[in-house]
Structure 1
Amino acid sequence: MTVGSFVRIDGVPHHVDVVGDGPVCLLSAGLGLAWREWDPVVALLARTRTVVRFDRPGLGLSGPPRGAPTLAGEAERIGLVLDAVGFGGAAVTVVGHSLAGFHVEAFARLRPGRTAGVVLVDSSVAESARGVSGRGVRVAAARVGGALLAAVGVPRAVGPPARWLAGRPAPRELRSLYGASRVWRAGLMEYATYTEVAYELAVLRRRTPLPTAAPVTVLAASASRTPGSDPWLARQRTLATKLGAAYCALAPAGHLLMRARPREVAEAILATGEA
């Protein structure tokens, strides 16, 4: 099955791509990133899995967001996307890269019956997240900043080169997504609310356990050729221990593991879904 379409969730057109056949897995990319970043992994998974990927509001091809993101809202969005494409009754393997690692972990905790497994792909980590004041000010600043950057043409001038520096060069059609003012505004909004989302997850972890029947895997990336001394990997290993997860470090590799090491990422998703 191959489906690329838009579904309306809370009044916002969400771009959703569904491909393949078999047990369902959902892939969600990190802060400011588009669905196409998963292309190398999808090519490997779609032989035996139904793969769902989507763009959060403002990102990729989805319409602009109506409000600032929250952790609970993003977890709910995952469920609503699955409902919209006909997988409301399926237990799925949820895969989150970077910031989306927070989202899929929250989904697993809040929707245990819908979770077959969790894979965190170089997930964001916030060990000492705390509630802070001033959310409204930061959200307003992100909106104003996004409008000002768009007005002077920064997204179009800086977006494609910035994406190139973040990892392997993107296909031409993908680069254009990172030059859109809409995408920059959404990315700034995700950045502005990062602290609150991390704190929401810290609170959720204390109150709501992960489903015992859903295995968790933590994949970590290090650009170092001596990864044993990389503090980022130490933080990722601590995260895996906290979650009772399997742990695998991939080095040398960049943060965009789905492009740098697609075979290992696909293997981890397949193994987690079958565990």
Structure 2
Amino acid sequence: MTVIRLAGRDVRLTTRAGHGLTVVLVGGCGVPSPLWQPVVELLPGRAVTRLDRPGLGSPWPGRLPTLAEEVDTLAALADRIGSPVVLVAHSMAGPHAEAFTRLHPDLVRGLVVVDGSVEWDLRPAGVRDRGLRMFWLAAARVVRRLLRPEPFRVLGRLAGRVVVALQSRLRIWSPMPGVAILGEPDAAASVLAENGAYADQLRDLDQVRAQDPWPGTPTVVLTAAGDGGPSWVGDQRRLADLLGADQVVVEDSRHLMMLDCPASVADAVRTVAPVGEKEVS
């Protein structure tokens, strides 16, 4: 794992050399990159880079993130590791990946959206939203201070395990490599900050959708059926239709599909970027 600066922000990268186009794995809000390990093991020999956004193993910058920042970070990463890349984006990273692909279609050969965040009826931002942003930012700063003493970090690590257990088929006592980082002050602050930025980022994605057509990038939308039920499957189907993607409903998975059904994620990677595919110069 290496902390580097990309597009003006410190992020953590975990890389594995290999053949073919680099597979970039990006987790959702508060999902540390070690949770992707089961997927990495099912992609033997392939070049893989895991990205942790600011706060997870790197300093939290002290503000709410924007969609533009996330897109710029992905663009800088693609430039660093060599493009085009195969992008695998979970949950809240799904909107980041979609916006990045629309704005930089030449940098993405294939996209896998893993139970990506969707909202279809967002109202325009108003005064209430400004107040909520201020609340989330203040909460992030307070939590970062509160978690400095070790006893509170222990509670933070326990909370992280509980969240992972609630969003997967793991039990709270199961091995969870990397989850301990959620007890660190910067990590906890980043989770709150990303929650505070959620609605604004999806509104910004709607603007990108209106201005930049989908480029036809090969895409698979993986939907975890174990949490949201038929309405969630329907929302995800609408996303797949928007992206001209194949939707794969994974019946025995909850939200953290990289833990519950890593084979489904690896299969989707092979669908959008078959083994041996090279960059076309």
TM-score, scaled to structure 2 = 0.86
- Paired residue total: 263
Q: Deviations over 1:182-236 (max 9, x none)?
A: 1121111111111110011111111101223x21110001117xx9x62111111
Q: Which has the higher contact order (CA 8 A, sep 6+)?
A: 2
Identify the residue that residue 79 of structure 1 maps to in structure 2: 75
1:162, CA displacement in angstroms? 2.7
Identify the residue that residue 100 of structure 2 maps to in structure 1: 107
Identify the residue that residue 125 of structure 2 maps to in structure 1: 132
Q: Deviations over 1:212-263 (max 9, x none)?
A: 3x21110001117xx9x62111111111112111111001211011111101
Unaligned runs of 5+ in 1: none
Q: Contact between 2:7 and 2:72, CA under 8 Å: does it hold in 1?
A: no
Q: Contact between 1:146 and 1:181, CA under 8 Å: does it hold in 2?
A: no
- Equivalent-residue separation in structure 1 for 2:158 and 2:113 (angstroms): 32
Q: Contact between 2:34 and 2:178, CA under 8 Å: does it hold in 1?
A: yes
- Equivalent-residue separation in structure 1 for 2:7 and 2:76 (angstroms): 10
Question: Partner amino acid for 2:175?
Answer: P
Give the % identical residues: 30
- Equivalent-residue separation in structure 2 for 1:138 and 1:188 (angstroms): 12
How well do the aligned residues superpose, as a CA RMSD in angstroms? 2.2
1:142, CA displacement in angstroms? 1.7
- Equivalent-residue separation in structure 2 for 1:248 and 1:10 (angstroms): 33
Question: Partner amino acid for 2:255?
Answer: H
1:66, CA displacement in angstroms? 4.5
Identify the residue that residue 193 of structure 1 maps to in structure 2: 197
Identify the residue that residue 70 of structure 1 maps to in structure 2: 66
Change (3 A) 1:223 1:21: same
Equivalent residue runs for 1:88-237 within 5 Å: 90-134=83-127, 136-150=130-144, 151=146, 153=152, 155-156=156-157, 158-167=159-168, 168=170, 169=172, 171=175, 173-212=177-216, 214-223=217-226, 230-237=230-237
Change (3 A) 1:172 1:112: closer
Moved more, 99-108 or 146-155: 146-155
